[in-house]
Amino acid sequence: MNLAELNKVAVAMVAPGKGILAADESSGTIKKRFDGIGVESTEDNRRDYREMMFRTNEAMSKYISGVILYDETIWQKAKDGTPLVEVIRKSGAIPGIKVDEGTKPLPNCPGELITIGLDKLADRLPKYYDQGARFAKWRAVIDIAPGIPSYTAILTNAHALARYAALCQQAQIVPIVEPEVLMDGDHDIDRCVEVTEFVLKETFQQLYYQRVPLEGIVLKPNMAVAGKKSAKKASVQEVAEKTVRMLKNCVPGAVPGIAFLSGGQSDEEATAHLDAMNKIGNLPWNLTFSYGRALQAAPQKAWSGKSENVAAAQRAFLHRAQMNGLASLGQWKSDLEKKAA
């Protein structure tokens, strides 16, 4: 393992003013998104949609540091025959790959899940590296509901994340460590903080046991937010303050950066929360974004599968990328959204 090289990639992934585009939706997830805009989820349509984003030159070169790809996409070629990985690299962004294989029910833990895909990961990673991937992503899913999460679910998922991270670094690939505490329930923000702190502390304990140098990872956590069904919504400032405090309690300063998932927040909410955290300042790590829906919902809708809509969709993608780029510097203002509209 060349830690200096891993650190160089990790630092580039969280460079000030830039963030990561999560374009790694599984076939099932992207089918749901395409169903929502009336587009058939064929291999060509998926490729055309993603290529449209990767060729939005201003967005990719100025505001996107890396792109998380799905297994299908990393092997695909653009319409003109250029490998999509090459299109991403030419824009100045770093290609990455989602390596987990989804979730399965965790035995003896009703309502809880374990992420799978470790068994052949050591064999798959060198092939992804040869194809151009320089970072990877593995997502653990922790739900909050009556009686859960259990320590069993937290420990098992944290252990899997740490083993994945060690395997990635061995293959000279930076692991994005993503323990996501879901915002689907009716819990308030303080319950989210309580569970997320438990999850983060256990994750870093397991990374230590697996001898993973933190200088060569990027953390992708949820923010401290109330559940979608909660009657008590938190203000932007409360989310920012509680998230920063939570991270300072759990995340060592050796981690180069933290790239948040949007986790079902609206586009503007995800941007406003990130901006408010960076406005607090005096942070030991760079705070940026690794958004899927919060970057893609607007361009997807604008595109709707029609070639004549490509320019409008690219404008929508550029706008969201720019807004989040500003938020990662603490320079976003809500009136910038109104100007674009």
pLDDT digits (tens, 9 = 90+) for 137-189: 999 999 999 999 999 999 999 999 999 999 999 999 999 999 999 999 999 99
- Closest to 175 in 3D by CA, of 104, 118, 240, 249: 118
Q: Is-catalytic flag, 220?
A: yes
Catalytic choice (112, 178, 180, 202)? 178
Asked if residue 303 lies in contact with residue 52, where contact means CB atoms within 8 angstroms, the answer is yes
Q: Does 240 score more than 60 pLDDT?
A: yes
- Closest to 269 in 3D by CA, of 284, 286, 291: 291
Give the pLDDT mean for 284-310.
Answer: 95
- pLDDT at residue 264 in the model: 87
What residue ranges do the domains of the chain occupy? Answer: 3-340
Asked if residue 319 lies in contact with residue 340, where contact means CB atoms within 8 angstroms, the answer is yes
pLDDT digits (tens, 9 = 90+) for 43-77: 999 999 999 999 999 999 999 999 999 999 999 99
CATH architecture of 3-340: Alpha-Beta Barrel (3.20)
Q: Which residues contact 34 (CB under 8 A, 6 or more apart)?
A: 40, 41, 45, 46, 305
- Percent of the chain at pLDDT exceeding 90: 97
Catalytic choice (18, 98, 220, 242)? 220
Q: Is-catalytic flag, 90?
A: no
Residue 27 and residue 72: Cα distance in Å, rounded?
Answer: 9
Residue 341 pLDDT class (50, 70, 90 cuts): low
Quote the pTM value. 0.96
pLDDT digits (tens, 9 = 90+) for 112-136: 999 999 999 999 999 999 999 999 9
